């Protein structure tokens, strides 16, 4: 029972480790308040295999979560296709606006590191090829 409780607490801490937000306004506010960078990633969460791999291999990795907690604000700009995963209309419009601004070619996944003025500092087109540790180094 004690091991189970420890595991539940560990998983809970991982899931709330990174500062995930839904809008660019939220991301900018948190980035400015905490001197953080914004990790903006364009995803097709229910149809894009490399996008799903990025989220599982990188974003959900414990070492990434630990780093992100103190250095990043995460903003996933999602474009699901299945009706059951449909986003609220307001979120769809916000995501389309961000795509127009940062991803006019429609690349999935597209991963961007932005400063708190929305300047692009680093960019990955497609699934990053480096290890999670090397990805974190590139973010620093």
Tell me the whole-structure pTM to 2 decimals: 0.85
Domain CATH number, residue 31 = 3.40.30.10
**Residue 108 belongs to what domain range?**
2-139
Report the DSSP beta bridge partners of residue 122: 113
Alpha helices of the chain — where are they, by DSSP H?
A: 2-15, 24-34, 49-54, 62-71, 89-102, 132-139
Question: Could you give phi then psi for residue 26, rounded to 5 degrees?
Answer: -60, -45
Closest among 94, 93, 88, 92 to 27, alpha carbons compared: 94
**Number of domains the chain contains:** 1
User: DSSP secondary-structure letter at 88?
Assistant: P
133 conformational bin, left if phi > 0, alpha if psi -120 to 50, beta if neither: alpha
Digitized pLDDT (tens) for each residue of the chain, 140 residues in all: 454 433 333 444 444 457 899 999 999 999 999 999 999 999 999 999 999 999 999 999 999 999 999 999 999 999 999 999 999 999 999 999 999 999 999 999 999 999 999 999 999 999 999 999 999 999 99
């Amino acid at each position: 029972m004690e091991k189970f409780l420890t595991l539940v607490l560990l998983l809970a801490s991982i899931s709330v480790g990174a500062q995930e937000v839904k809008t660019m306004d939220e991301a900018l506010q948190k980035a400015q308040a905490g001197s953080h960078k914004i990790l903006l990633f364009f995803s097709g969460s229910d149809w894009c295999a490399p996008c799903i791999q990025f989220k599982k291999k990188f974003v959900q990795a414990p070492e990434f979560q630990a780093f992100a907690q103190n250095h990043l604000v995460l903003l996933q700009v999602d474009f699901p296709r299945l009706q059951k995963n449909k986003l609220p209309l307001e979120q769809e419009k916000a995501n389309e606006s961000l795509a127009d601004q940062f991803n006019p070619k429609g690349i999935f996944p597209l991963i961007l590191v932005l400063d708190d003025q929305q300047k692009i500092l680093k960019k990955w087109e497609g699934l990053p090829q480096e290890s999670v540790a090397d990805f974190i180094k590139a973010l620093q």
